[in-house]
C-alpha cells in the first residue's frame, strides 16, 4: 500500500468519525419519538424507519465525498441489494445495531461503520448512541475508546471469564435448543457469568476494552462485526469462526 493510500484511508476514517457522531445524534432524537416498527426475516428481526433513515444519511454523505466507493448496508441488503465485497474501497454499515433495544429505549444502541480495501478491513468506528462513547481502530495503529488506548483481557481461564453472547432473531425449536445447550456448557465450565446486552457491536467493544473475555454468536452478518473486528484485533484480541479458523469476513 502506498503512502498516498495510507493517508487517504486515514482521511476516510476522520470522515467516518464525523458521520458516526452525526448519525448518533439522529438516533438520540429518534428514540424519543414514536417508532414505526416492522419485521424482516422473522417476527423478532425488527426494523424501524429510523434504521433506514440513518443508513440513508450515512451512505448519501459518504457517497457525496467518495463517489467511487462501494457500500454494504444492513437495510440495503435487507431490501434486496447483494452483499458482495470486491477489491474496491467499501464501507460496511450497520445504522442502528441493537434495533430491539432502540424500540424499547434500552440504552445499548450503536452506529457501526467499517471500511475495507482489497478485501482487507482497514478501520472501524463504533458510536454508542446513548452515552456518546466512541470506539475507533485503524489497522496497525491501535484501538481506542474516546481517544484512550484499549486492550483486551489477558485472562485465559474460562472459569474466571465473563462471556458475552446474543440469542439472535431465529427462535425456532432447533435454534433455541442449540443456544440453550451452549449456555449450559458455558455455565457448567463454569464461566464466571454469561451476559446478553442486545448489541453485538457494543458487546464486541466490551471485549476490546477487557471488560469481558469472549463473545460468541452464530449467524452474524458482516455489518454486525466488520468495524468491531478491527477494534478487537488492534486491541490485541482475535476474531475466529466457529471452526476455529480466522474470521473471513462473512461475505459469502
Active site residue 96: yes
User: Which of the residues 96, 113, 150, 163 is marked catalytic?
Assistant: 96
Active site residue 34: no
Q: What is the pLDDT of residue 219?
A: 80
What DSSP designation does 247 have? Answer: P
Partners of 114 in beta bridges: 92, 124
- Residue spans in the chain of domains classed CATH 3.40.190.80: 158-234
Pick the CATH number of 3-149 from 3.40.190.10, 3.30.540.10, 3.40.1400.10, 3.40.50.1980: 3.30.540.10
- Residue spans in the chain of domains classed CATH 3.30.540.10: 3-149
**Cβ contacts of residue 219 below 8 Å, gap of 6+?**
168, 170
Q: Which residues are annotated as a binding site?
A: 74, 94, 96-97, 224
User: Which of the residues 51, 97, 122, 234 is marked catalytic?
Assistant: 97
Q: By C-alpha distance, which of 138, 178, 166 is closest to 224?
A: 166
Q: What is the pLDDT of residue 44?
A: 79
User: Which of the residues 51, 55, 74, 213 is marked catalytic?
Assistant: 74
Distance from C-alpha of 153 to C-alpha of 98, rounded to nearest angstrom: 24
Q: Which residues are annotated as a binding site for Mg(2+)?
A: 74, 94, 96-97, 224
Write out the three cell numbers for 175: 435454534
Active site residue 178: no
Active site residue 48: no
**What would be the CATH architecture of the domain defined by 158-234?**
3-Layer(aba) Sandwich (3.40)
User: Which of the residues 48, 99, 136, 165 is marked catalytic?
Assistant: 99
* pLDDT per residue as tens, the chain (252 positions): 555 666 789 999 999 999 999 999 999 999 988 888 888 877 778 888 999 999 999 999 999 999 999 999 877 765 566 677 889 999 999 999 999 999 999 999 999 999 999 999 999 999 999 999 999 999 999 999 999 999 999 999 999 999 999 988 888 999 999 999 999 999 999 999 999 999 999 999 999 999 999 999 988 889 999 999 999 999 999 999 877 888 766 544
Q: By C-alpha distance, which of 76, 108, 110, 109 is closest to 91?
A: 76
Amino acid at each position: 500500500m502506498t503512502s498516498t493510500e495510507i493517508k487517504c484511508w486515514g482521511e476516510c476514517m476522520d470522515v467516518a468519525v464525523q458521520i458516526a457522531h452525526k448519525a448518533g445524534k439522529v438516533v438520540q432524537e429518534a428514540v424519543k419519538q414514536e417508532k414505526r416498527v416492522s419485521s424482516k426475516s422473522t417476527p423478532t428481526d425488527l426494523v424501524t424507519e429510523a434504521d433506514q433513515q440513518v443508513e440513508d444519511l450515512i451512505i448519501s454523505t459518504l457517497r457525496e465525498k467518495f463517489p467511487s466507493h462501494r457500500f454494504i448496508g444492513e437495510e440495503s441488503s435487507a431490501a434486496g441489494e447483494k452483499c458482495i465485497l470486491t477489491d474496491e474501497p467499501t464501507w460496511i454499515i450497520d445504522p442502528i445495531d441493537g434495533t430491539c433495544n432502540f424500540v424499547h429505549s434500552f440504552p445499548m444502541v450503536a452506529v457501526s461503520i467499517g471500511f475495507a480495501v482489497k478485501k482487507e478491513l482497514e478501520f472501524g468506528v463504533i458510536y454508542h448512541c446513548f452515552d456518546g462513547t466512541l470506539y475507533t481502530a485503524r489497522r496497525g495503529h491501535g484501538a481506542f475508546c474516546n481517544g484512550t488506548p484499549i486492550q483486551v483481557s489477558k485472562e485465559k481461564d474460562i472459569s474466571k471469564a465473563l462471556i458475552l453472547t446474543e440469542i439472535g432473531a431465529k427462535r425456532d425449536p432447533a435454534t433455541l435448543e442449540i443456544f440453550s445447550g451452549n449456555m449450559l456448557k458455558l455455565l457448567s465450565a463454569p464461566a464466571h457469568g454469561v451476559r446478553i446486552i442486545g448489541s453485538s457491536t457494543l458487546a464486541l467493544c466490551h471485549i476490546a476494552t477487557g471488560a469481558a473475555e469472549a463473545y460468541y454468536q452464530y449467524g452474524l452478518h458482516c455489518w454486525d462485526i466488520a468495524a468491531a473486528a478491527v477494534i478487537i484485533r488492534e486491541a490485541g484480541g482475535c476474531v475466529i469462526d466457529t471452526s476455529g479458523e480466522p474470521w473471513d469476513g462473512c461475505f459469502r
